[in-house]
Amino acid sequence: MSEPLIIAIDGPAASGKGTLSRRLASFYGLRHLDTGTLYRGVAWIMLRDGFEPRDEAAAVKVARAFDPEILGSADLRTPAVGRSASLVAVHEGVRKALFDFQRSFGLQKPGAVLDGRDIGTVIFPDATVKFFITASPEERAQRRYLELRASDEGVTYEGTLAELKRRDERDQSREEAPLKPAAEAEIIDTSKLTPDEVMARAVRIIDNVVRGRT
């Protein structure tokens, strides 16, 4: 196989795209990039240095100087960082500054699984296979609530649902790279599926595409 295999996975928060991406990367021997961590990394630096995430000039500066090393060291998974990530992600200059890193990551052989919001639409419109992973807001809020509750007893299901809907709305309605399925994306609603079932569907689809191109 000469061309790198690139699997693009988009979807809203807690849809299960990270879980599927990690499994696919391990199954096909590909590298994996959770592109949300790039926006979370920029947001984390902004918060640490006392910048307001809406400050576009500061956000672009941070994104241009972005060092992926930060991804392993910072606490990026908190709700505050998630909220700020979606605020810095609306800035066109931030998205442009992170573009090349994502492209080069995917283009190294043997290829990669990238997950995020705009992989199939903007970063890799030329991906080998594209998925849009989704689930009902209530199901996603329940999943995120269970994750957060493990480390924070103050978290509530209602608060998690409200925050998740606000973030969906911001990600879908922004001008730059809004969250939406790519035209040819395979859509999987994971609301009533187990991670194993989602994986089995995705592998069937990928194997069909890969068989067709060799």
Residues flagged as binding site? 11-19
Report the residue number, 39 or 61, with the smaller CB distance to ligand CDP.
39
* Cβ pair 51, 84 in contact under 8 A: no
| Residue 19 binds ligand CDP, judged by CB under 6 A | yes
| Residue 111 binds ligand CDP, judged by CB under 6 A | no
CB of 214 to ligand CDP, least distance (A): 29
Which neighbouring-strand residues pair with 34?
Answer: 115
Q: How many residues bind ligand CDP (CB under 6 A)?
A: 28
Binding residues for ATP: 11-19
Which of 58, 85, 97, 182 is the binder for ligand CDP (CB under 6 A)? 85
- Consecutive H or E run containing 104: helix 92-107
CB of 77 to ligand CDP, least distance (A): 8
Which of 5, 198, 202, 206 is the binder for ligand CDP (CB under 6 A)? 198
Q: Which residue, among 10, 50, 15, 59, has the nearest Cα to 33 in the 3D structure?
A: 10
Report the residue number, 1 or 166, with the smaller CB distance to ligand CDP.
166
Report the residue number, 14 or 58, with the smaller CB distance to ligand CDP.
14
Integer Cα distance of 13 and 28 in angstroms: 24
Which token pair is 212? 């067709």
Phi, psi at 88, each rounded to 5°? -75, -25
Question: What burial class does residue 17 get, using C-beta atoms within 10 Å of its C-beta: 0-12 exposed, 13-18 middle, 19+ buried?
Answer: buried
Report the residue number, 1 or 146, with the smaller CB distance to ligand CDP.
146
Q: Is the dihedral of CA 139, 142, 146, 151 positive or negative?
A: positive
Which of 40, 61, 91, 130 is the binder for ligand CDP (CB under 6 A)? 40
Which neighbouring-strand residues pair with 111?
Answer: 5
Which token pair is 13? 């928060």
Q: What is the CA radius of gyration of the chain?
A: 17
Which of 136, 194, 200, 207 is the binder for ligand CDP (CB under 6 A)? 194
| Residue 94 binds ligand CDP, judged by CB under 6 A | no
| Residue 171 binds ligand CDP, judged by CB under 6 A | yes
- Consecutive H or E run containing 112: strand 111-116
Query: Which residues are near ligand CDP by CB under 6 A?
Result: 11, 13-19, 35-36, 39-40, 82, 85-86, 89, 116-118, 143, 147, 167, 171, 190, 193-195, 198
